[in-house]
Structure 1
């Protein structure tokens, strides 16, 4: 089975704070609502319930999962909805309940208790599981589906076979990094060229360019909004947004330096941090973000992309397309051979994957060879092995926001380090991805997006 996943699927425009706990459940609930209509049973429905299992149950409240479920049942889509319509969709139901128009059609009365958290029950298909049931007047449900939110906003319905139709159209399939490198050497191309060939076969030249430009436009809008928006993040921890303050200080410093005759201080790393903070503060507030490859790690790809545009001579929009395609080629390897889900592999699967994607992609637009690109991704991933997912209070704030800023720096360092070599190195990208997979399996459940271990239990909530 080919590993390649389209950039238009990996980089999905949605809302915060979590691709697996917000975007995925919203898509699953919408799919269930559409099934009720397609099966012709909606008129018989009197009640709809949803059980959130495992990690979805453990940190669902902090991630806004119940809100996402209700919004999805109402027919909202992550990529087009107004984030304000999602926030509080569940809590507004109240104890007396309220009418929810299923898929924008018939109204069904729902109570807050109709969405239940069941953290101690873990279904075998994936740690992020949810079961939706539609009830009529009888004792048995009219319809029942179990969905798995498998990371990055992707969902899988229990019993469904893998969807392969698009993959069969890829002219340059690969299943691991060694095969990807062999394709590059055989055809005299780079990672982004392999990815582009596969994308064009499905979406066409104009389609993939328009899609990539829309993705980058959404990323850039997120950075810009995050750099300007002041305030305190929701959730009760009292975490203040820092990106606007950092931006103002850097702008003042850069203005002063422009009129100074003394040697200038390099502020590129500090700007890189500001870009990442901006995105993840937007994500934590439930704003519009791009999954890259998850929401919890959404700041790294746009931050390093902004670093490229601002600090690399000759950077341009065409380079950003190559950057995104290279990142997607690398993410496909991780998704196929390990995981991009924090509930499945810990934060190594989210921030570690995003760091590897950004490192390899930056290396590519800086002129790196395919083997240097593979080396950059390997360096970045290797130094995130074992990273736990332990969000305080189940919120994608501490340590998640700062973690994106630091990982952005690691990505740039990995790319620069790889460019000083010829691509020859001891540990391959395939090896480190397999090691990440094994480490995720060995990691205790309490360190995998359950907020039952690590910082989550050692930080006193005020």
Structure 2
């Protein structure tokens, strides 16, 4: 099974892909779906419950900051790292959040972001529940997400489909292990880098491959300097 470099090397806030990048993506997705479903204007406040490992180690991994930023409409691969602390500080000082970057609602962190160390959700230890309430306290929307590693996030319905057969990516050099990759190299007389590039070009345009890889290279170098 071929895994793209764009999936292996994700750009995002650290220190953890599962405890920082994933929760930020989940929070952003919940807020954005509220807007897409026309429920943003009826949302009075949002409560986020963190379970399992996210509850036990989330503060040390920056899960709390990731949730605040994601609900605000930020995504991990586009936010300016220098703006993280000012944005989080502003939310905490004003005790309010601009949901999906569009609607300001109160957000009292001690009440609206709960670390449920007493419970773990069934599917995965990195569980999150987002609940939007209207001003009368009725539920507008509720959704559970799981951060399953590598920055990937699934909701409950998607979690149920994990393990089902999926259509393989159509690339010229599919491989499941190093031996198969080396066999392709011997047969094609190509270097590993050449085969990997051919696989990426089967999924994206040459410009997308080049710009995406250069962006990742630049971020890595900036991280070293930072």
Residue in structure 2 matched with residue 100 of structure 1 by the alignment:
97
The aligned residue for residue 206 of structure 1 is: 207
Cα distance, 1:137 vs. partner?
Answer: 4.3
**1:189, distance to aligned residue in structure 2 (A):** 2.8
Higher relative contact order, chain-length normalized (CA < 8 Å, sep 6+): 2
Aligned-pair CA distance for 1:41:
0.8
Q: Distance in 1 between matches of 2:156 and 2:177?
A: 26
Matches within 5 A, 1:371-390: none
Task: Write the distance in 1 (CA, Å) between the matches of 2:223 and 2:135.
Answer: 46
Give the TM-score taking structure 2 as reference length: 0.86
CA, structure 1 residues 4+124, in 2 after alignment: closer, same or farther (shift >3 Å)? farther
Distance 2:51 2:16 in 1: 16
For the pair 1:195 / 2:196, whether they are aligned, the reply is yes
**Deviation at residue 51 of structure 1 after TM alignment:** 0.9
Change (3 A) 1:18 1:210: same
Asked if structure 2 preserves the Cα contact closer than 8 Å seen for 1:66 and 1:90, the reply is: no
Superposition deviation, residue 213 in structure 1: 1.6
Q: Which residue number in structure 2 is paired with residue 169 of structure 1?
A: 170
Contact 1:67 1:88 in 2 (8 A): no
Paired residues of 1:134 and 1:141 also in contact (CA < 8 A) = yes
1 CA distance for matches of 2:166 and 2:87? Answer: 35
1:246 corresponds to: none
Tell me the distance in 1 between the aligned counterparts of 2:142 and 2:180. Answer: 41
Q: Which ranges of structure 2 fall in alignment gaps of 5 or more residues?
A: none
- Aligned residue for 2:127? 129
2:56 counterpart residue number = 58
2:21 is equivalent to residue 20 of structure 1 = no
Equivalent position to 1:29, from 27, 30, 47: 27
Tell me how far apart the structure 2 counterparts of residues 83 and 221 of structure 1 sit (CA, whole Å): 11
Structure-1 residue corresponding to 2:84? 86
Shift, 1:97, TM fit: 6.2
Measured after TM superposition, the shift of residue 164 of structure 1 is 5.7
> Quick one: distance in 1 between partners of 2:105 and 2:130?
14
* Larger proportion of helix: 1
Give the SS at the match of 1:87: helix
Equivalent residue runs for 1:236-315 within 5 Å: none
The answer on whether the counterparts of 1:98 and 1:111 sit within 8 Å (CA) in structure 2 is yes
Shift of 1:10: 1.8
Structure whose residues are more often strand by fraction: 2
What CA distance in whole angstroms lies between the structure 2 residues aligned with 1:147 and 1:77? 16
Structure 1 177/119 Cα, relative in aligned 2: closer, same or farther at 3 Å? Answer: farther
Does the CA-based 8 Å contact 2:55-2:116 persist in structure 1? Answer: yes
Separation in 1 of the partners of 2:179 and 2:118?
40
What's the TM-score once normalised by structure 1's chain length?
0.44
CA distance in 2, matches of 1:224, 1:84: 13
Query: Whole-Å Cα distance in 1 between the matches of residues 100 and 166 of structure 2?
Result: 28
SS, match of residue 45 in structure 1: coil
**Largest Rg, 1 or 2:** 1
CA distance in 2, matches of 1:99, 1:85: 17
Secondary structure (helix, strand or coil) at the match of 1:13 reads coil
Distance 1:140 1:5 in 2: 43
The number of aligned residues is: 221
1:147 aligns with 2:148: no
Which residue does 1:399 correspond to in 2? none
* Aligned CA distance change for structure 1 residues 122 and 88 (closer, same or farther; 3 Å): farther
**Per the alignment, in what secondary structure is the counterpart of residue 180 of structure 2?**
helix
